[in-house]
Structure formats: structure tokens, C-alpha cells
């Protein structure tokens, strides 16, 4: 059963106050976008993650939260398959703000990441990606959708409850992390150090209550060729002729296309699309007048949760390797020079919770009370909520403004109405989930 009931007087006052603070919400998001928190490769220096986290910390402390902004000890997550050796949080602190409850209510965690992907190619943007332009009913800029918009909504929701003196029975935690776009390390730290009865991650879900997400694997396929002068007539490889590693890699590209087709034909998940494999980068060749001796295909694999709740990553890896091996065995050169498949760091598992979890029922009920459908669905990509579920045992939903299809795009944007609606739903959901002390 969903928790369907009309908004009470206090909840209506919160909803109205969030709407009145629309300008504050937009200015908060514009400020967040202005911080350069573009994701990094391991070992790269930090950008403005620390400045952003301290800015949020000061805001939330001013509303009465107990705030910590600290660089965690990376030893807490050392050895995890998504985290590279030597990883450090230096210059990239994590924020936890606790609004303490006054009773025996449940604890709700609001979690969002503040890192964003690169803006390249910047010349294609129609506006400054760090300006936070407000235009045509939306806010435009890198991270507006993924996911500084969601972070702004959850922060304003918490601030509004504090401003109106809404006394929660349980604790409300606001947690902003880094590394989601690179290693997931920030979410891992949260999962291993924070305790909560449930969590909301406002990634861009089109205000759909997402109870499942796909996992990700990163594979690199290295194809061997035989170097030689590009100006010489072709010779058979058995006679010492040159072999283009790029042409042989193209043979595997076709095999991967067939693998994607195979995956789409399998039984569908209730909330998620089929497993998929996208070749995200091709690199090869040594000199402009030489046959390329090596070519590398980088692949991003999305895969589904298993019915028993385990991580099917080993089975996915085996199937992928076997598929490449079978394809290579059909070609004389590749059979004699098998492609090398390597699995790089960054593997993150899928996750799923029951649609009957109290946090799901709560948000569905709130959405309906706000006049929206309260749809339950799935999030196509991985997000930090999967770590909260798997590593922390915290039932977590993804519920946020705009859609994943807009994330990482040129001219990324988020509708103002989505931002306000998300903040309203999170605020009321916190009241219902944590409980409110009667006045």
C-alpha cells in the first residue's frame, strides 16, 4: 500500500515556502555551477571542489546543521575494484550536514555528487558552461542536470524545513560527495561511514522514483597487427606481409554490434533497459605512413541486476570474453594473435530495492499529494545510490530533476519547474519519513 493522503497544513506551508524561494534556489544552483569541479583522472590536481563544499557547509551550518567538511582517509576504501591504487581525497573533501531530530524517528540521507564531466568541446556551447544562465524556463550550464540541480534542490529542501522551524523526529543528513563521475569513491565513503534508514539521491530521473540501476564495467580490447610501410604493395600475412591492427579492430566492432543485438533479445527487466556495450574510444597507429601495429577499443558495458540480488559481473565478464574469443577465432590473423581483453578500474555493480520499501512508498505518496503521477521506474546508469545499497545496506531511491538523456550534453540544462518540484517533494518526504513532532 502507498502512503496516499493529502498534504496537511504544515506540509502545505513547506510546499508554498519552497515555491516562494524559487529565486534563492536558482541563485544557489548558479553559484554551484560557477565552481569548476570538472571530474579528474587519478593523480590530477583538484579544482574547486573544496571551495564548493565549504560554501555549502557554511550555508547549512547557518541553518543549524552540525557540519563536517573533511578529506577522508582513502584507506577506508583501498582495494575496492572501482578505486585505483594510490587514490587520495587530497583537495577533494566530503561534506556531511546533520539536522538532528528530537525523537525516535527514522534517519533520512540526502546524497548528491558535486563533480561534473568536462565541457569539451567548449566551442560548441551556446553559453558559458560555468555561468548558470537562466533562460527560457531553465538553468543552463555544466552540471545543471547532472547533478548540481539535484544538489541545489535537496539543500534548499533541508534549509526550508529549518527556516520554518519544522521539528523532525529523526535526523536529516545532507551529504555532498566528489568522485562519482570517475571512481565512485565519495559514495563509497558515505556508504561505509554513514548510517541511515533510507536515502534519496536526486540524480536526473525526470522526477520518477527509480528503485533500480544498471551496473557498469570498463573493458579495453587490444588488437595486435604487424607494422610495415604503408606505401608497399600488400602481401599475405603468412608471407610476412603487414597487417593493420585498425582493420582487425573493425572486425571486432562488428562482433560487438552483434553482441548488443543479442542482449536486446533477452527477457527484459521490469524497470531497466537491456544490457549494452558502447565503444567509447578507439586509439591506434604509430605513424602516418605505417601500418598500425596496435589498436585499442575502450568499451563501456551496462548490465542488469540479478534476480537473487548478487552481482553478476563475473558472468558478464566471461560472456564478453567468450564473445570476443569466438569472433577472433573466425579470422586467421586474430586466431593466431588473440585480442587481449583487460578490465580497468571503475567497475560498479547494479543495485535494486523493493518497490515496497518505506522510502519508496513515502515518495510515491508525496508525489501524488503534489498532483503528480508518482511513477516507479529504473535509472539506466549507475549512481552513488548503488553503493549506499550494496555497501551500506541503505535502501536508496534515485529521484531528481530533468532526465539522464540531458546529462553530459552540450548546453546541459534543467527546467526551473523540475527544480522546485523536486525540492518540494524531498522536503515533504523528509517530514513523512523522519516524522514531525506535533506543535
Helical pair 313-329 and 245-264, crossing angle rounded to 10 deg: 130
Among candidate residues 11, 49, 115, 367, the one labeled active-site is 115
User: Which residue matches cell numbers 547532472?
Assistant: 146
The closest alpha carbon to 433, from 397, 402, 386, 400, belongs to 397
Q: Strand 413-415 to strand 276-284: parallel, antiparallel, or no bridges (unpaired)? A: unpaired
Task: Verify whether residue 254 is a known catalytic residue.
Answer: no
Q: What is the signed CA dihedral for 323, 325, 326, 330, rounded to 10 degrees?
A: 140
Q: Which of 49, 180, 203, 418 is catalytic?
A: 180
3-state secondary structure 412-428: CEEEHHHHHHHHHHHHH
Pick the closest to residue 432 from 100, 154, 207, 172 (CA basis).
172
Cβ distance 414 to 138 under 8 Å? yes
For 212: left if phi > 0, alpha if psi spans -120 to 50, otherwise beta; the answer is: beta
Q: Where are the beta strands (DSSP E) in 143-288?
A: 172-177, 198-201, 209-213, 215-224, 276-284
> Quick one: angle between helices 148-163 and 49-62, nearest 10?
20
Are the CB atoms for 76 and 192 separated by under 8 Å?
A: yes
418 is catalytic: no
Task: Evaluate whether 235 touches 242 at the Cβ level (below 8 Å).
Answer: yes
Q: Taking the CB of residue 41, how many other CB atoms lie within 10 A of it?
A: 7
Query: How far apart are the C-alpha atoms of 399 and 411, rounded to whole Å?
Result: 22
Q: Which of 59, 57, 45 is nearest to 92 (CA)?
A: 45
Beta bridge partners of 253: none
Q: Residue 294, class by beta-carbon neighbours within 10 Å (0-12 exposed, 13-18 middle, 19+ buried)?
A: middle
How many helices and strands in the chain, by DSSP H and E?
A: 11, 16
Question: Residue 382, preceding bond cis, omega within 30 degrees?
Answer: no
Catalytic site positions: 115, 180
Amino acid at each position: 500500500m502507498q502512503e496516499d493522503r493529502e498534504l496537511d497544513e504544515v506540509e502545505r506551508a513547506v510546499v508554498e515556502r519552497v515555491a516562494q524561494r524559487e529565486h534563492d534556489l536558482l541563485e544557489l544552483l548558479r553559484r554551484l555551477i560557477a565552481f569548476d569541479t570538472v571530474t579528474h583522472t587519478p593523480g590530477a590536481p583538484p579544482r574547486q571542489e573544496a571551495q564548493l563544499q565549504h560554501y555549502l557547509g557554511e550555508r547549512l551550518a547557518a541553518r543549524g546543521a552540525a557540519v563536517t567538511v573533511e578529506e577522508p582517509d582513502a584507506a577506508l576504501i583501498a582495494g575496492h575494484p572501482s578505486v585505483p591504487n594510490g587514490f587520495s581525497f587530497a583537495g577533494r573533501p566530503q561534506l556531511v550536514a546533520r539536522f538532528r531530530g528530537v525523537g525516535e524517528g527514522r534517519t533520512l540521507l540526502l546524497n548528491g555528487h558535486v563533480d561534473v564531466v568536462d565541457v569539451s568541446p567548449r566551442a560548441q556551447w551556446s553559453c558559458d558552461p560555468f555561468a548558470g544562465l537562466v533562460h527560457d524556463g531553465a538553468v543552463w550550464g555544466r552540471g545543471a542536470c547532472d547533478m548540481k540541480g539535484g544538489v541545489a534542490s535537496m539543500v534548499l529542501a533541508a534549509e526550508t524545513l529549518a527556516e520554518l522551524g519544522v521539528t523532525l523526529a529523526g535526523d536529516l543528513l545532507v551529504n555532498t560527495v566528489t568522485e562519482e563521475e570517475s571512481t565512485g569513491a565519495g559514495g563509497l565513503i558515505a556508504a561505509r561511514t554513514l548510517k541511515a534508514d533510507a536515502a534519496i539521491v536526486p540524480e536526473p530521473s525526470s522526477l520518477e522514483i527509480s528503485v533500480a540501476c544498471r551496473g557498469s564495467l570498463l573493458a579495453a580490447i587490444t588488437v595486435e597487427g604487424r607494422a610495415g610501410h604503408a606505401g608497399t604493395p600488400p602481401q599475405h600475412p603468412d608471407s610476412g606481409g603487414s597487417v593493420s591492427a585498425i582493420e582487425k579492430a573493425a572486425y571486432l566492432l562488428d562482433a560487438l554490434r552483434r553482441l548488443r543485438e543479442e542482449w536486446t533479445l533477452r527477457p527484459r527487466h521490469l524497470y531497466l533497459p537491456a544490457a549494452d556495450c558502447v565503444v567509447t574510444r578507439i586509439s591506434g597507429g604509430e605513424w602516418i605512413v605505417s601500418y598500425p601495429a596496435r589498436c585499442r577499443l575502450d568499451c563501456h558495458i551496462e548490465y542488469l541486476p540479478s534476480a537473487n540480488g548478487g552481482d553478476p559481473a563475473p558472468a558478464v565478464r566471461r560472456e564478453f570474453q567468450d564473445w570476443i574469443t569466438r569472433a577472433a577465432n573466425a579470422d586467421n590473423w586474430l586466431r593466431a594473435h588473440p585480442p587481449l581483453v583487460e578490465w580497468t578500474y571503475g567497475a560498479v555493480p547494479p543495485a535494486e530495492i523493493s518497490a515496497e520499501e518505506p522510502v519508496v512508498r513515502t515518495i510515491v505518496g508525496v508525489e501524488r499529494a503534489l498532483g503528480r503521477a508518482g511513477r516507479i521506474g529504473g535509472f539506466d546508469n549507475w549512481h552513488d545510490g548503488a553503493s549506499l545499497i550494496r555497501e551500506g545496506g541503505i535502501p536508496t531511491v534515485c529521484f531528481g530533476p530533468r532526465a539522464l538523456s540531458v546529462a553530459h550534453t552540450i548546453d546541459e540544462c534543467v527546467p526551473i519547474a523540475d527544480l522546485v518540484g523536486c525540492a518540494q517533494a524531498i522536503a515533504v518526504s523528509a517530514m513523512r519519513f523522519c516524522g514531525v513532532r506535533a506543535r
